[in-house]
Amino acid sequence: MVQTDLRIRIIGAGMGGLACALSLAKAGFLDIQVYESASGLGFVGAGIQLAPNLARILDRLGAWGDIRKEASLIHEARIIEGTTDEPLGHVDMAHVEEMYQYPHCVGHRASLANSMYEACKGELGVKFVFGTKVDTLDTFLPVPSFMAIPRTGTEPYRVEVDVLLACDGVKSYTRHAMLESLGLHAQVEDTGQAAYRIMIPRKLMAGDKELLDLINGDQITRWVGAGRHIIAYPVSNKNIYNLSTVQPDNNFAAAPSETYTTKGSKDVMLNVFSDFCPRVQRMLDLVPEGEVCEWKLRVHAPLQTWVHGSVALVGDACHPTLPHLNQGAAQAIEDGAVLGVVLSKLPDSSPRSIYKALKIYEDVRKDRAETLINLAAQSGRDMHLAEGEAKAERDHLFAALKLNNGKGPSPDKWADADIQRMIYGHDCVKEADKVFERSFYSHE
């Protein structure tokens, strides 16, 4: 029987926080509160890839239908040499839905978040507490507690909970407090990389047939070059062409460590990709001046644990990743789905049982998330090779992939069929069910 009266509090209303709230509400919990420091959820952001492992969870949670209506179906992926615009590799993705029961789609990040948010608002057990910062987390067990500090200037107040789920991102305060309490440390790591997120309205591409072919297509295109790449695809019913780049970080080097975004210069952006082909140059030139924003890409060393007492870390708070596998949001949503399973199976509401359930969440999720982090990092290294023997070997593998109609190992891990099978074919809910039944009564 679900322990419906557990006081569950979630820090952060991003992808992981929304997934936790919705999964727990669907499991039957009736006292879920989500604390968000922003005054509301004005969703922004760029495109996002909606892989089958993510779609499978959202469908179970009743949040897939609206997203799918707006999403663009992907039938193929193309890897192209950035400077010459010559094809390196091609992967057919028309078979994905047949293999994994869900297609590979792309959509707008705001649509994904808003769909989960609206689904949460339809659940009686979920309440959002906006404009409130969480601070002074000084108790982890048996009853976690923290200070809630309203940004309106009203008096801070202490909150005691049965379960605390920290979805507070790569700069997670909770992670810092947890590790300090445990005498552990995990430094945020500078990757030396940054990213532009660009969205080009269809109307700006109307006069260029080559660019219209891109936005009208059902493919993801990745242009690769030394130390850089651009990945692009249509979103919002093909009314927007989404480009995400990765390039060396030259703008954040002198910035304070807490700085993750900066206003970018269009001229600087064009210079970063100045040796890329004319087609890319024309796309980048369409970006309006003043709408260039650059993100610093940071990760942190693997944590020894995600759980302390009745507190668990979720999403980027415990497994931030580089974007080269396009699985960041999906992995946070898998976290939420697994937490819904393990907490719904609690035999009682004792702190010991909660701890054991949270450790099973960690058992189910940690190795998988960290494996994908490593694969993403490796893929980035392979995509960004400069001229030399290693690049020649990479391009030889791409040529073989092309010759064999997209079958075989791909240096672009995202497009590798075996890695897709490992990512897309995984059902985290079934895995959590199985692991809980096998190990809860033996877990220490």
Residues with Cβ within 8 Å of residue 128, at least 6 apart in sequence: 13, 33, 34, 36, 41, 120, 121
SS3 248: strand
Handedness of CA 47, 75, 274, 398 (dihedral sign): positive
Per-residue pLDDT for 247 more than 80?
yes
| Backbone φ and ψ of 430, nearest 5° | -65, -40
Judged against a pLDDT cut of 80, whether residue 262 lies above it is answered with: no
> Which H or E run contains 75?
none
How many of the other CB atoms lie within 10 Å of CB of 31? 17
Dihedrals phi, psi of 104, to nearest 5 degrees: -95, 120
Distance between CA atoms of residues 160 and 413, nearest Å = 44
Do the Cβ atoms of 37 and 131 come closer than 8 Å? Answer: yes
Q: How far is it, in rounded angstroms, from Cα 334 to Cα 56?
A: 10
Instruction: Return the amino acid letter for 139.
Output: T
pLDDT category at 74 given cuts 50, 70, 90 is very high
Q: What share of the chain has pLDDT > 90, as a percent? A: 65
Does the pLDDT of residue 259 top 60, yes or no?
A: no
Residue-wise pLDDT for 177-215, tens only, equals 999 999 998 777 778 888 998 889 999 999 899 999 999
Separation CA 377–CA 59 (nearest Å)? 29
pLDDT score recorded for residue 414: 81
pLDDT above 70 coverage of the chain, percent: 95
**Residue bearing tokens 């023997």:** 389
Q: Tell me the three state secondary structure of residue 58.
A: helix
- Of the candidates 323, 330, 328, the one whose C-alpha atom is nearest the C-alpha of residue 229 is 323
Cβ-based neighbours of 356, under 8 Å, separated by 6 or more: 440, 443, 444
d(CA 318, CA 300): 8
What are the tens digits of pLDDT across the range 22-61? 999 999 999 999 999 998 877 566 789 999 999 999 999 9
Amino acid at 175: R
pTM over 0.85: yes
Q: What is the DSSP string of 147-170?
A: EEEETTSPPPEEEE-SEEEE---T
- Looking at the predicted structure, is the pLDDT value of residue 342 above 50? yes
pLDDT digits (tens, 9 = 90+) for 146-183: 999 999 878 999 999 999 999 999 889 999 999 999 99
